[in-house]
Structure 1
Amino acid sequence: KVPRPPNAFIIYRREKKAKHNDVFSKRTEAEISKVVGKMWQNEPEDTKDMYYRLAEHAKKKHLEKYSGYRYKPERGKKKDSR
């Protein structure tokens, strides 16, 4: 399965997790996302713009590598309603 290209927040989160791995090592992925999400909200716009540019670059690289890629989300299966 072809992975989706990362968006700006995913790139930011990946970078912060790697940089602060000692702090995040005992937390769940959900907890890390909440903490990093608050950090993202407090970042100045010029910092966010840098990550948006990185995401756009990643998107272009992804398009080169997987030219026929199209995101097709899988729908969850309905549970039996008995």
Structure 2
Amino acid sequence: PMNAFMVWSQIERRKIMEQWPDMLNAEISKRLGKRWKLLPDYEKIPFIKEAERLRLKHMADYPDYKYKP
């Protein structure tokens, strides 16, 4: 399941792509990483909560799942 950064970046990536449709994906990713690091903890809370909800749903949907890198 997605972590908090992934939940947030999915939303923010769309905004960036609307403003700069020709920007390369690598550049978008760099910008998102920098912006996430600068985001105050209190602004990250909704995304942390959503990531936790997704994690719990994934555990319920796939109780026997084992991460295999």
Task: Report the count of equivalent residues.
Answer: 69
Matched, 1:29 2:43: no
TM-score (norm 2): 0.84
Distance 1:24 1:10, change over 3 A: farther
Q: Distance in 1 between matches of 2:58 and 2:46?
A: 18
Moved over 6 A (4+): none
Q: What is the aligned-residue RMSD (CA, Å)?
A: 1.4
Which blocks of at least 5 consecutive residues in structure 1 are unaligned?
A: 74-82
Match of 2:34 in 1: 38
- Using the size of structure 1 for normalisation, the TM-score is 0.73
CA deviations over 1:22-52 (Å, ceiling 9, x no partner): 2342223221110011111111111112211
Q: Aligned residues: percent identity?
A: 35
Looking at CA atoms only, which structure, 1 or 2, has the larger radius of gyration?
A: 1
